[in-house]
Structure 1
Amino acid sequence: MNLTEFRMTLRTLPFLDAHAHSPHGLLQLRARPTPRLLVWHPDAIEQIFRTDRQFHHPGSRSLMPLLGRSSLLWADGPRHPAYRGTLGPPLRNRGLASYRDAIADTVHSSIDELPTGRVIPLAEWTRQVALRVIAKIVLGRADDELLAPFIAWIDKALGSRSRTLYYRYLSGGLPGSGEQLDRLLIRAARASASANPPALAALLLTENGPLGEIDRTELRDQIVSLLFAGHETTASATAWTLYWLDRDERVRDDVLTELEATSDDGSDVTRVPLLQAVIQEALRLTPPVPAAGNRMLDRGGELLGRELPAGTILTPSIYLAHRRAEYFPRPRRFDPYRFLGRRVGPQHFFPFGGGARHCLGSQLSQLEARMITVALLRRRELRCVNPAAGVPRLRGHAMAPDSKLRMKVMRNLDD
C-alpha cells in the first residue's frame, strides 16, 4: 500500500474532501502492480455504468469474511443476473406494496416506545428500526432471538473504526458470524415460505427457479447480505433526513405543511415531493456508502482519453460526484429544493450505485425513510441535543452519523 492509498484508508473522508474541487474527476491511487483509479467525472461514470457488464467486480477483501464469498453483492457471470431476476421484482414498483403494512407496524411500534423526555442515539435507533423491517421482509420475523446476536456481531465488526481497521489489515478480515448465528439464520430462511405474505428468502429456495438449488453456505451468505445491506443504508438515509429537518427550520416547516395537506403515510412519493427531495439531498450530502464498488478491466481500455491496461481497478466515488459544484451549486449546503422539478442524471447522482450493480433495494430504502420520517413528524416532536455531533463517520464501507448524535423527544403529539 502506497502513501496515497494509506491516507485514503486511514482518513477517508478528509482525504476525499481534499480532492472535492479537483476539475479532473479522476485520481490515481496507485500505479503498480495494477493501476487503481478513483473516478467521479460524470462522463467517466456514465461510461462505466453503461458498460458495467463488461467489467469484473472483485469482492471486498475486508467484507468477505463478514458477508461470505458467495454474496450476491459481488457475484459475477450468470449468477448475478439470476439473483437480480429473482429478488428484484418484489423490491421495486408495485412489488413494494406488500411490504407497506410490515413497515408501518414496525415503525409505529418503535415510536410507541418513545415517551416525552426520552433521549435517543439517532443512528442506533434508525438502525434498529430498519433492521426489524428488513428482517420481516427477508425472513418473516424480527424477534430478539434472531436479531440480538446479529446486532452484536455487526457492532463488534463495525462499531469502532479503529477496531474495523485492525480486523481488516492486521487480523485477516472482519469477524465471521459464527456457527450458532448461521444456524438461526438458515433455519429462519427455510421457514420463511410459511410467512404471510411469503418472505423474500423463500424465493432463494425455489429449486426450479433461475438460481436452482443453493447449498447451505450460499443461502447463509445471501441472507446475511440482504440483512446487512438492507438496513445500514436505510438507517443512514433516515437518520440524516431527521437531522437535517431539525437543523433547517424553513425546510421542516415546509415539510410539515406538505404533510398537513395529505393523509398519506409517505408510501406514495407523489404526495410528499418535498420530503422525497429532503431524502435525496440527505443522500447527496451523506450517501450511505462513499464509493460504488470496484470494477476491474478484464482487458485494456480507455477512459477520459487515458489508456488503461487489463487489471486496472476503477472505483466510482459517490461522495465526490455529489460534490461537483458545476452541477450542485454550493455543494456543501443542505438545499433539498434543488431536487424539486428536476431530473438528475445517474452520472451525477447515484447514492445507490449504478449500472448492473445498482442497489436492488433502493426503492425500498427510500420508502422506509419516507414512512419513518412521516410517522415521527406526526407523532413526536424531536430536537437534536448535540448538533455538533452531526458529522459523518464510517462503519466499514458505510457512512452514518456519529454514534454520539442524540435527539430528545420534546412532545408526544398523540396526546
Structure 2
Amino acid sequence: MLRRELALALRTLPFLDARADAPEGYVQLTTKPALKLLVWQPDALEWIFRSDHRLDHPGSRSMRPVLGPKSLLWLDGPRYEAYRRLLGPQLGARRLGDYHSLIEEAADRAVTELTPGTVFALPEWTRRVTLDIAGRILLGNVENGVLDAFTTWLDRALGSPYRSLLYRAFKGGLPRSEAWLDRELVRSARATAPPALASLLVAPGNPLGAIDDDELRDQIVSLLFAGHETTASATAWTLYWLDRHDRLRHDVLTELSSTTDSGADAKAVPLLQATVQESLRITPPVPAAGNRTLPEATELLGRTLPRGSVVSPSIYLAHRQPDYFPAPQRFDPGRFLGTRPLPQRYLPFGGGSRHCLGSQLGQLEVRIITATLLRRRVLRCVNPSAGVPTVRGHAMAPSGRLRMEVTACHD
C-alpha cells in the first residue's frame, strides 16, 4: 500500500481524478503501520466533523519538521482549545472590519507596481501580497527582509514535490528555517504591541501562560504560513478563472462599477463572492483536510475500522461529486448564488474542530485583492496552458510558470 501513498505524493491530481467516481467514497492508502483512508463519502465526513473533538489529530509527517512540533496545527486537547479561544475572536466576522484598510492598502501598493507591459508570475505575486498582509496582521510592521527570507525558505522546502520527496528520503525531512530567521521571528513577536496578533501570545496573563521561544517560533511560522499560502492560491485561481471566462469577467466588472465597496462586503459583490467560492470548489488550495486518528474501533463507511485507523477528508474529491455539483469540471459561480452548500459537501476550509480560523479573513482578502486589480488594471494571461494545479507542500497552487501581462491601466 506504500505504492498508493507514493502515487498520491508525486502524482496527486491524476491519482485523485482516477478515483473520483469510486462509489464507496473512499480509497485505502495503507494498512501498516496503521490503516489509512482518504474519505469523501458525505455521511462519513459528517460523522468525522461531528465527532472531531473526540479524535486525535497527528498532523503531517512532512510538514511537522517545517512548522515545528509545537505548532497549534498539530495540538490537541486543552492547549489547542486555548489557542482557538485566544485567536478565534480576533479572526472572526466581528473583527474583520479592523483589517479592511490594511488589506486595501496592501492591495493598492502591489497593484501600483504593475505598470503597462509588465509580465509577472501570478502565483508569486499573490504570495507576496498575502504574506505582506499576514505579516502586518500578525507582527505589525515587520522588516521586509524577514518576510523575504521566510519566502525563500518556503520555496526551497515546498517549491517542488520531487525536491520535497528527496529531502524526506535522503535528508531526514523538509528543511527547517535557519536559526537566525527563527530568532528574528521570535524577536519581532515579542516586540509587538496591540493590535498585532502576536501581542496576544506574549501578553502577561494570557490564558496560554508563558510561551518559550521554541513554541513561539512554531506558532509564528504556522500562522504566517497558514495565513498567506492558501489565500495566495485562492486569489491566483480566482484571477485565472476570471481570465478564462470573458463573460463572467465582464459581469464581475459591471458589478464592481455599480458599487464603491472595496470588495470587503460580500453582500455588495455577490457575483464576485460566488466566483471566489467556485474557485475554492474546483481548485481548492488544500486538497485534503488533515488526518484524524480513531481512538477506538468505529463503524464507518460500511466496515469496522480498528482503533488507530487514520481517516483524511478529501476536499478535492468531495467537491467533484456530480450528484451535488452537476458537471463538476465546469467552472460555474452560479452554483453559489443564493445557496448555502452543505458542510460535508463543500469544505474548502476543512470542518469540525479544525475548521480554519481564518476562513472569513481569507475570503475577504481574495475579494479585495481581486476587486482592486480588476478596477485598476487590464490583464491578459500569457500562457493559459500553465494554469494547471501543482502541489506545493500540502497546498494546491497554479503552476509557478503561470504569467499575466498588464495591458492597460485605469488609474
Answer whether TM exceeds 0.5 for this pair: yes
2:345 counterpart (341, 344, 348): 348
How far 1:58 moved relative to its partner? 0.2
For 1:110 and 1:143, how far apart are their aligned partners in 2? 17
Structure 2 residue 219 is matched with structure 1 residue 236: no
Give 3-state SS (helix, strand or coil) of 2:404's partner.
Answer: strand
5 Å matches for 1:226-305?
226-305=223-302
Structure 2 residue 80 is matched with structure 1 residue 83: no
Give 3-state SS (helix, strand or coil) of 2:311's partner.
Answer: strand
Give 3-state SS (helix, strand or coil) of 1:74's partner.
Answer: coil
5 Å matches for 1:16-415?
16-193=16-193, 197-414=194-411
Which moves more between the two structures, 93-102 or 216-225? Answer: 93-102
How far 1:98 moved relative to its partner? 1.0
Which moves more between the two structures, 30-39 or 308-317? Answer: 30-39
AA in 2 matched with 1:126: T
- Count matched residues: 411
Aligned-residue identity in percent: 61
For 1:23 and 1:141, how far apart are their aligned partners in 2? 51
How far 1:402 moved relative to its partner? 0.3
Aligned-residue CA RMSD in angstroms? 1.0
Is the 1:64–1:173 Cα contact (8 Å) retained in structure 2? no
TM-score (norm 1): 0.97
Give 3-state SS (helix, strand or coil) of 1:88's partner.
Answer: helix
Give 3-state SS (helix, strand or coil) of 1:173's partner.
Answer: coil
Is the 1:132–1:142 Cα contact (8 Å) retained in structure 2? no
How far 1:182 moved relative to its partner? 0.6
AA in 2 matched with 1:56: D
For 1:192 and 1:13, how far apart are their aligned partners in 2? 41
How far 1:32 moved relative to its partner? 2.6
Give 3-state SS (helix, strand or coil) of 2:293's partner.
Answer: strand
Is the 1:133–1:142 Cα contact (8 Å) retained in structure 2? no
For 2:143 and 2:105, how far apart are their aligned partners in 1? 14
For 1:282 and 1:168, how far apart are their aligned partners in 2? 31
How far 1:169 moved relative to its partner? 2.7
Give 3-state SS (helix, strand or coil) of 2:77's partner.
Answer: coil
Which moves more between the two structures, 100-109 or 365-374? Answer: 100-109
AA in 1 matched with 2:345: H
How far 1:191 moved relative to its partner? 1.3
AA in 1 matched with 2:128: Q
Is the 2:10–2:162 Cα contact (8 Å) retained in structure 1? no
Give 3-state SS (helix, strand or coil) of 1:408's partner.
Answer: strand
For 2:169 and 2:42, how far apart are their aligned partners in 1? 32
Deviations 1:211-248 (A, max 9, x none): 11111100000000000111110000000000000100
How far 1:26 moved relative to its partner? 1.2
Deviations 1:61-116 (A, max 9, x none): 11111100000111111111101000111111121111111111111011110100
Deviations 1:195-214 (A, max 9, x none): xx520001111232221111
Q: Which runs of no fewer than 5 residues in structure 2 stay unpaired?
A: none
AA in 2 matched with 1:381: V
Which moves more between the two structures, 90-99 or 232-241? Answer: 90-99
